[in-house]
């Protein structure tokens, strides 16, 4: 319930602090006194849109603060927002600066407007003439039926099951996308690996080919030089160089018998002769193997072109790096068995979550189906009591797109004259919509955890017995919960447990709690207008004390 409301510098309210009791609380006042301003201040602290026009002339900011009782549901919301949830009272505060910037607080902790609005939805339900539009809101109709049918817990389970199902579906989609991407990458990597594999790469191959290519490109020049060297070392005609060295060594040995130092020279010449003979043999062998081969040169150049192209494509500089790249691609070119397993696992999870969700939907549908007739009968009873004796009211379940609230859609069908009922938003007039909405709230008020109800002039356009019956209905609701009724009807005002008068002096709006005498005077004003007559006083007393 709402325990107190404090307002500072809000439009025409300079400073106001009021405490409220339980039960039915009446708020009345002359037209233009500021009842809508008071309701606007309450709406502001509950998360309504803020702007600079709300700041009054008595300061740089306006501040609205409200104190509420706190139950487990409120504590859960605070806990989810990482806010402290101690004690049995919650203070909400909203400040608005002249710039239009607003700040919101729960206790002493700053909160977002979204959190404030979520808290407010569990604390206060403001029912105005325009709220009949909520009858067109699918979620509102669903919540009303579920409250009657005792299906709220199952609907919550259904919502959790739906969220779990959606999460599993997202996971499945993610794994399937990864599998598809892996298969695409697999094909791409396999094509790249296959080309490298067909190349039969070998370490050191590039250097060897480049050397061979250089030799083959200059084969004629090499052959010419080798032939010349071989001819000098082993001429076809004439004495070979090794023979000349042998003869020279023999001559030195003879002379060495006379000059001892010449023998060492002879030995060195003998060693040189052997080296020359080896060189001559190797030159002859190389010369024999060296041939100009345009075919082999083309093969080498083609192979080099392939290697250069592969190195450029893969961004490497050596064949060894190409081999490492080939091995890496080979490690990537694996089957998608692991991902296929994950997909199957994710599909089974979706199937299991879908099964749990479907079970929740079935339980929810069963509860709703059982509750439709009783719920419709309860609404109809209230409508008959509000001078709609011939009215018909049906609650119809229809199949709907699956969602967090199950697979049902709820329709309200209405007829004021006993004819075939049709959709309430098309079949009911404005006054009938108000009475339907009031009847709904009256039925819902019988259940626990309903927020404080605020009725903002729902009795506009009605009078006489209907007004009296609406007052009685609102009074009945006040027996189970805190109800505020902003009204112009004395029949309604007389039924309150407490009465507050909103008045305006100059440009300042104030709120006054009325005692017994004050209530008589206000009811008399509501009955007779500005001039309060003895008859109006007597009538006011009769309304306040009908049993006397």
pLDDT at 371: 94
Q: What is the pLDDT of residues 86-125, one digit of tens each?
A: 888 999 999 999 998 999 999 889 999 888 888 888 888 8
Q: What is the DSSP string of 172-234?
A: HHHHHHHHHHHHHHHHHHHHHHHHHHHTT--TTHHHHHHHHHHHHHTHHHHHHHHHHHHHHHS
Tokens in use for 10?
Answer: 């809000």
Q: Is the pLDDT of residue 237 over 60?
A: no
**Do 199 and 308 form a contact (C-beta atoms < 8 A)?**
no
Q: Give residue 139's pLDDT band: very low, low, confident or very high (50, 70, 90).
A: confident
CA 148, CA 202: separation in Å to the nearest integer? 81
Q: Percent of the chain, pLDDT > 70? A: 95
- Mean pLDDT for 468-482 is 79
Q: Give residue 402's pLDDT band: very low, low, confident or very high (50, 70, 90).
A: very high
pLDDT at 236: 66
CA 480, CA 185: separation in Å to the nearest integer? 67
CA 46, CA 119: separation in Å to the nearest integer? 8
Q: Is the pLDDT of residue 131 over 60?
A: no
SS3 297: helix
- Mean pLDDT for 275-302 is 85
pLDDT at 464: 64
Who has greater pLDDT, 462 or 434?
Answer: 434
**Do 169 and 350 form a contact (C-beta atoms < 8 A)?**
yes
**Do 26 and 498 form a contact (C-beta atoms < 8 A)?**
yes
Q: What is the pLDDT of residues 246-262, one digit of tens each?
A: 888 888 888 888 887 88
pLDDT at 107: 86
pLDDT at 421: 92
Cβ contacts of 141 within 8 Å, gap of 6 or more: 135, 410, 411, 412
Q: Give residue 385's pLDDT band: very low, low, confident or very high (50, 70, 90).
A: confident
- Ranked by mean pLDDT, the top range of 144-148, 292-296, 364-368 is 364-368
What 8-state DSSP symbol labels residue 444? H
- Mean pLDDT for 113-140 is 78
Q: What is the pLDDT of residues 153-203, one digit of tens each?
A: 999 999 999 999 999 999 999 999 988 877 777 777 778 888 888 888 889
Q: Give residue 65's pLDDT band: very low, low, confident or very high (50, 70, 90).
A: very high
Q: Is the pLDDT of residue 425 over 60?
A: yes
- Mean pLDDT for 69-84 is 87
- Mean pLDDT for 395-418 is 93
CA 98, CA 51: separation in Å to the nearest integer? 8
CA 416, CA 250: separation in Å to the nearest integer? 147
pLDDT at 395: 94
Calculate the alpha carbon distances from 242 to 90, 235, 247, 265, 274 in Å.
117, 11, 9, 16, 8
Other beta carbons within 10 angstroms of residue 488's beta carbon come to 16
pLDDT at 336: 61
Q: Is the pLDDT of residue 244 over 90?
A: no
Nearest by Cα to 311 from 322, 327, 325: 322
What 8-state DSSP symbol labels residue 293? -
pLDDT at 68: 93
What 8-state DSSP symbol labels residue 54? G
In our burial notation (b when 16+ CB lie closer than 10 A, e otherwise), range 259-294 reads eeebeebbeebbeebeebbeebeebbeebeebeeee
The angle subtended at Cα 50 by Cα 45 and Cα 53, nearest 5°, is 120
Q: Give residue 239's pLDDT band: very low, low, confident or very high (50, 70, 90).
A: low
Q: What is the pTM of this model?
A: 0.61
pLDDT at 372: 95
- Average pLDDT of the chain is 86
Q: What is the pLDDT of residues 1-37, one digit of tens each?
A: 899 999 999 988 888 899 999 889 999 988 777 788 8
């Amino acid at each position: 319930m709402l325990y107190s409301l404090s307002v500072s510098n809000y439009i025409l309210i300079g400073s106001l602090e009021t405490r409220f009791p339980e039960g039915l609380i009446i708020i009345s006042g002359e037209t233009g006194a500021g009842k809508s301003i008071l309701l606007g201040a309450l709406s502001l602290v509950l998360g309504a849109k803020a702007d600079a026009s709300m700041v009054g002339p008595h300061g740089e900011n306006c501040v609205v603060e409200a104190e509420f009782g706190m139950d487990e549901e409120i504590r859960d919301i605070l806990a989810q927002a990482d806010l402290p949830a101690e004690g049995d009272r919650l203070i909400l505060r909203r400040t608005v600066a002249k710039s239009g910037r607003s700040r919101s607080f729960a206790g002493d902790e700053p909160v977002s407007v979204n959190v404030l609005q979520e808290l407010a939805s569990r604390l206060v339900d403001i029912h105005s003439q325009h709220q009949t539009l909520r009858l067109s809101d699918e979620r509102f109709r669903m919540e009303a039926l579920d409250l009657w049918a005792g299906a709220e817990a199952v609907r919550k389970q259904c919502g959790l099951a739906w969220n779990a199902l959606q999460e599993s579906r997202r996971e499945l989609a993610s794994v399937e996308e990864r599998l598809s991407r892996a298969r695409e990458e697999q094909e791409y990597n396999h094509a790249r690996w296959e080309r490298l594999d067909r190349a039969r790469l070998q370490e050191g191959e590039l250097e060897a080919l480049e050397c061979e290519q250089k030799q083959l490109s200059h084969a004629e020049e090499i052959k010419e030089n080798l032939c010349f060297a071989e001819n000098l070392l082993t001429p076809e005609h004439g004495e070979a160089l090794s023979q000349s060295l042998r003869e020279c060594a023999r001559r030195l040995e003879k002379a060495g018998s006379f000059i001892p130092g010449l023998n060492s020279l002879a030995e060195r010449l003998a060693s040189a002769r052997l080296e020359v003979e080896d060189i001559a043999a190797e030159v002859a062998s190389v010369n024999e193997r060296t041939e100009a081969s345009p075919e082999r040169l083309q093969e080498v150049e083609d192979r080099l072109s392939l290697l250069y192209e592969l190195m450029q494509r893969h961004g490497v500089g050596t064949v060894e790096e190409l081999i490492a790249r080939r091995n890496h691609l080979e490690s990537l070119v694996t089957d998608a068995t692991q991902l296929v397993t994950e997909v199957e696992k994710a599909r089974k999870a979706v199937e299991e979550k879908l099964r749990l969700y479907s079970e929740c939907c079935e339980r929810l549908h069963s509860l709703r189906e059982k509750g439709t007739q009783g719920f419709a009968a309860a609404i109809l009873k209230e409508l008959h009591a509000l001078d709609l004796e011939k009215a018909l009211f049906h609650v119809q379940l229809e199949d709907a797109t699956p969602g967090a609230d199950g697979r049902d859609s709820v329709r309200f069908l209405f007829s004021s004259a006993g004819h075939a009922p049709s959709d309430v938003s098309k079949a009911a007039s404005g006054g009938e919509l108000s009475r339907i909405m009031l009847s709904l709230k009256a039925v819902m008020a019988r259940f626990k955890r309903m927020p404080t109800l605020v009725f903002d002039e729902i009795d506009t356009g009605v009078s006489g017995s209907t007004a009296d019956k609406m007052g009685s209905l609102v009074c009945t609701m006040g027996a189970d919960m805190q109800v505020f009724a902003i009204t112009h009807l004395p029949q309604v005002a007389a039924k309150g447990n407490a009465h507050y008068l909103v008045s305006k002096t100059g440009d300042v709006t104030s709120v006054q709690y009325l005692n017994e005498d004050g209530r008589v005077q206000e009811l008399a004003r509501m009955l007779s207008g500005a001039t309060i007559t003895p008859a109006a006083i007597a009538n006011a007393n009769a309304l306040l004390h009908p049993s006397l």
